[in-house]
Structure 1
Amino acid sequence: MSRHNGLILRTSDVSNFDQKYSIFTEKFKLIYIINDDTTNLQTTIDYLHTKHPDWNKYTIIQSTELTRSDIEYVVKFDDLLELTNIPSQHIYILLTMENINSTESWHQYNIFKLNNHHHNFSLALEYTDTTVSIENFQYWLTEPISFILFPTTSTTSSSTPDFIFNIFQQKSIPIPLLIIEDIPQYEQKLLYLKNISKPHYQYYSQPLQPLVEDLSMGIYKQFESDNTKYNQYQQAFELAISDLTRLKLPRIKILIIGPGTGKLIDKLWKVLDKKLLPNYDILAIEKNPICVPILNEKNTKSWNNKIQIINQDIQKYTGDNNYNLIISELIGSFGDNELCPEILSQFNQPRPDLIMIPNSYTSFLQPIYTPFKIKKISLIKLGNYYPISQPQEMWNWNHPGEYELTQTKSLTFANAQGYKISGFLGWFECTLYGHVQIQCHDVNLGNYCKSWYPIYFPIHKSKLKPNQDLLVEFNRINNGENVWYEYKFLNKVYNQHGVSYCMSLQHS
């Protein structure tokens, strides 16, 4: 189907066809017939046939009489279930806003599709002023949507479908074809709204391997643009320094692991300057050689040469472990997928005079369906998907604290409305220190950090039944050389032995 706007002809308005058709060839590539007077349907078809012998190639008919095999038909959702003879050609199922808001309609649609799986369907929307439930709409948006219909009953309204366009935008879906009746009144405004409602992009990439590959300056700049993260770190530093000061230690020893180009130290320096802390030592260990000259320059210009900077892999560090404050930003999108538990294990023995930032983090998992095709474990900025069940906690890491580096968890999810599953979405929630937290999932919370994308664990797309319990077995495996996740769903094991994704413990 062309993505140009369509011209609407009503069979009840045959007398005005010449006037309307005169603008068809100039502005439109599609004719949309609304069969609101069945006695005139054949007259309408005869009229179009006189205009062009191939009229049927650019015409679709909204009707319950699906009699021709050379036409694509539009059937209202409420009429769909009454059909007995469904033709073999493509059919557009026209949803109202009321249908979208109805959970029952979603179930009816999926059952109909299951019973007629050999037919070719796609969805279309009929716009009305009814407010749409975004929670319900997200299910429908994972299905192909061919066009939005704006009949006279909607175009005479003073409202505009900004909220519908915004949902398409947020879900990273291009706004489909617009078929508009009463063109002079409504066309320009709708087309303007469509043009400015560009979809957010969906993005995915392979997870970072910071122990194996040194990060580029471009990645550091992207990370350091996350003001929420560093402001939260600064709050955590203030709480930690205040608590350590109360211990009346003769000297506070601070270790910073992986400071990158120094933004963490900048935030720490502001706190130390504010607290007027007299006696402290700071050691920064950074393995990436491109960062060290930047750190040295900042040390001279901004930090009064108070920072001892070592260019070394922290895993090879054999110096003093008796620090009072250990700071790092080694958390990955899933919490532990950049090997934070392994890297910090040598410092993790609890002591009354030891604070580690981050203090703890928890991994979460949620089954989802997305039409977006991803075959490997990836970091993903995903718009068009629906959750199948509520997220559940996987495992938790505490610093300092004792833990096993190999973890196993089985989770059972209750499926309410999902009929398909494509994979599992994972993310972290982290307590830096005290009440200060960060997370990478809920953009509506003030502690959301944009520099992490959730992680996605794909599976073979599978059909589901409502109220079906979904069991997934998840393993985090550390064999001393590599760390990887294996997960089992519907008797199939994914990423076995880390075949498509594993994290190396050896720095190249």
Structure 2
Amino acid sequence: MKPKVVVSGREDGRRSERADERMSEGFSAEAAREGLGAYLQYLGFLISRMPPPTELARLEAPYYDYLQAPLQPLADNLESSTYETFEQDPVKYKQYQAAVRQALIERHPANGPVPVVMVLGAGRGPLVDAALYAAVEAGRTIRVFALDKNANAVVTLQNRRLNEPTWAAHVTVVTADMRSWAPPELADMIVSELLGSWGDNELSPECLDGAMRYLKPSGISIPSGYVSTVAPLSSSKLWNEVGRLREVKHFETPYVVKVHNAFQMAPAQRCFTFEHPAPEQRLTPPAEPDNTRARALTFDVSVGGRLHGFVGYFHCTLYKDVAISTDPATESIGMFSWFPLYLPLRQPVHVPDGGTVTVQFWRHVSPQKVWYEWALLHPEMSPIHNPNGRSYHIGLL
């Protein structure tokens, strides 16, 4: 953590008997004055007694306040190293396994037809493993379709099917884009992990909307829904990191970042919500879902400061009470597959103690792309950030 400590006191000119000794030990002349050296020594003692960082802290430390571009899941194929990092998550796949197990027990009798599970965006297979383990725990037999459009990932999936008996017996590997695949049969359950740092920012709604036609009328999606949440953030560190890039477009771009040197000025609030199947798809006849969104939020700020932007999280319901979350209020402790999203302001704004912050967010969708816009409404009016997706968008093609 490398904490920085400042100790100050009255400069009365007095020196303790050990002042010269303290200065020779590395204390400044100010710290060596009466009492201050002792405070520094005691603070150093407390810091030395801090417990060592956890494995999770060691994994996350290189990413503290490091700005990263969000993934473009349709435009870019993930690299093997990225898959490997995600697969080390100790929480996410256990939760998926629990959700599939519970759904199998509640919805599929042991002596009934064999359920069909489609894993969409299977990557190198961790979700397939979670589904197979869940079936064993539930005392059920399942058939799995493992689908991915990344040819490199599909090679791994095919090798696993060739070399692992459980996969050979239960898994069919498919190379296809989930939005255009024509399945040979309908699914009892769709399982996916297409979420982004803000829930919907890696096109989970658009991808899964196209896949809902694979479901039987009684079928379900895991996840069943998710909500993006957002909070005002004070972080000169992050704002200055964006500022070094010098162009306005960088202040209109969301960044994935493990927020560290920052102060969240109010609890996060719900922003955009999505369900699968979408409400429009439950109609008779079903309609095309509308994934555009707009939301104005007002935050009460008890302790004021400099507002530098907003931090975004998500809360995702996998099945009933089984969830994964990055929101501090419901966080899945130990899960590190997703860091928060930072949405900067072009100009910082002072917020007084007991003040309020009002902000408007938009999610826009066109046939080619999805993008966000945001604007501060109070305590000052800001320009609309990223109008028409001029600086940042997520490609749909």
The residue matched to 1:334 in structure 2 has which SS?
coil
CA distance in 2 between partners of 1:229 and 1:392 (Å) = 23
Correspondent of 1:162 among 44, 47, 55: 47
The residue matched to 1:494 in structure 2 has which SS?
coil
Give 1:151 deviation, angstroms: 4.1
The higher relative CO (CA closer than 8 Å, separation ≥ 6) is in: 2
Give 1:327 deviation, angstroms: 0.7
1:479 corresponding residue in structure 2: 366
Indicate how the Cα distance of structure 1 residues 338 and 479 shifts in structure 2: closer, same or farther if over 3 A, else same: same
Kindly provide the amino acid, as one letter, of the partner of residue 151 in structure 2: P
1:32 corresponding residue in structure 2: 30
2:173 corresponding residue in structure 1: 309
1:491 corresponding residue in structure 2: 382
Aligned pairs for 1:232-311 within 5 A: 232-246=95-109, 250-278=113-141, 280-302=142-164, 303-311=167-175
1:184 corresponding residue in structure 2: none
1:219 corresponding residue in structure 2: 82
Contact 2:292 2:364 survives alignment (8 Å): yes
1:465 corresponding residue in structure 2: 352
The residue matched to 2:168 in structure 1 has which SS?
coil
Indicate how the Cα distance of structure 1 residues 389 and 289 shifts in structure 2: closer, same or farther if over 3 A, else same: same
Contact 1:244 1:353 survives alignment (8 Å): no
Contact 2:27 2:37 survives alignment (8 Å): no
1:358 aligns with 2:244: no
Contact 2:360 2:375 survives alignment (8 Å): yes
Contact 1:326 1:356 survives alignment (8 Å): yes
Contact 1:368 1:387 survives alignment (8 Å): yes
1:416 corresponding residue in structure 2: 302
The residue matched to 1:480 in structure 2 has which SS?
coil
Correspondent of 1:406 among 272, 292, 300: 292
2:284 corresponding residue in structure 1: none
Correspondent of 1:392 among 250, 269, 272: 269
Give 1:417 deviation, angstroms: 1.4
Tell me the alpha carbon deviations over residues 98-154 of structure 1, each in whole angstroms, 9 at most, x when there is no partner. xxxxxxxxxxxxxxxxxxxxxxxxxxxxxxxxxxxxxxxxxxxxxxxxxxx8444x4
Contact 1:232 1:447 survives alignment (8 Å): no
The residue matched to 1:162 in structure 2 has which SS?
helix
1:91 corresponding residue in structure 2: none
Aligned pairs for 1:110-121 within 5 A: none
1:345 corresponding residue in structure 2: 209
Give 1:222 deviation, angstroms: 0.6
Give 1:387 deviation, angstroms: 1.7
Indicate how the Cα distance of structure 1 residues 411 and 29 shifts in structure 2: closer, same or farther if over 3 A, else same: same
Indicate how the Cα distance of structure 1 residues 491 and 158 shifts in structure 2: closer, same or farther if over 3 A, else same: closer
Where in structure 1 do 4 or more consecutive aligned residues deviate above 6 Å?
A: 33-36, 155-159, 163-166
Give 1:277 deviation, angstroms: 3.1
Give 1:165 deviation, angstroms: 7.4
The residue matched to 2:71 in structure 1 has which SS?
coil
Kindly provide the amino acid, as one letter, of the partner of residue 212 in structure 1: A
1:76 corresponding residue in structure 2: none
Contact 2:19 2:32 survives alignment (8 Å): no
Q: What TM-score results when the alignment is normalised by the length of structure 1?
A: 0.63
CA distance in 2 between partners of 1:292 and 1:158 (Å) = 54
Kindly provide the amino acid, as one letter, of the partner of residue 83 in structure 2: Y
The residue matched to 1:31 in structure 2 has which SS?
coil
Contact 1:360 1:396 survives alignment (8 Å): yes
2:232 corresponding residue in structure 1: 367
Give 1:447 deviation, angstroms: 5.0
CA distance in 2 between partners of 1:360 and 1:337 (Å) = 14
Correspondent of 2:256 among 361, 379, 382: 379
CA distance in 2 between partners of 1:222 and 1:300 (Å) = 24
The residue matched to 1:315 in structure 2 has which SS?
coil
Indicate how the Cα distance of structure 1 residues 157 and 321 shifts in structure 2: closer, same or farther if over 3 A, else same: same
Share of identical aligned residues, percent?
Answer: 26
Give 1:314 deviation, angstroms: 1.4
Contact 2:178 2:210 survives alignment (8 Å): no
CA distance in 2 between partners of 1:247 and 1:416 (Å) = 55
CA distance in 2 between partners of 1:225 and 1:297 (Å) = 20
Give 1:480 deviation, angstroms: 1.3
CA distance in 1 between partners of 2:97 and 2:22 (Å) = 63
Indicate how the Cα distance of structure 1 residues 367 and 10 shifts in structure 2: closer, same or farther if over 3 A, else same: closer
Kindly provide the amino acid, as one letter, of the partner of residue 335 in structure 1: G
Provide the alpha-carbon RMSD of the alignment. 3.6
1:207 aligns with 2:70: yes
Kindly provide the amino acid, as one letter, of the partner of residue 225 in structure 1: Q
Tell me the alpha carbon deviations over residues 465-507 of structure 1, each in whole angstroms, 9 at most, x when there is no partner. 233322111100001110000011123111122222210001x
The residue matched to 2:92 in structure 1 has which SS?
helix
Q: Choose 353-362 or 445-454, whichever is displaced more.
A: 445-454
Q: What TM-score results when the alignment is normalised by the length of structure 2?
A: 0.79
Tell me the alpha carbon deviations over residues 377-410 of structure 1, each in whole angstroms, 9 at most, x when there is no partner. 1001011111222211012111122252111111
Unaligned runs of 5+ in 1: 37-148, 173-197
Which one has a bigger Cα radius of gyration?
1
Give 1:356 deviation, angstroms: 0.7
Contact 1:425 1:454 survives alignment (8 Å): yes
Tell me the alpha carbon deviations over residues 156-183 of structure 1, each in whole angstroms, 9 at most, x when there is no partner. 97994339978xx9xx9xxxxxxxxxxx
1:500 aligns with 2:391: yes
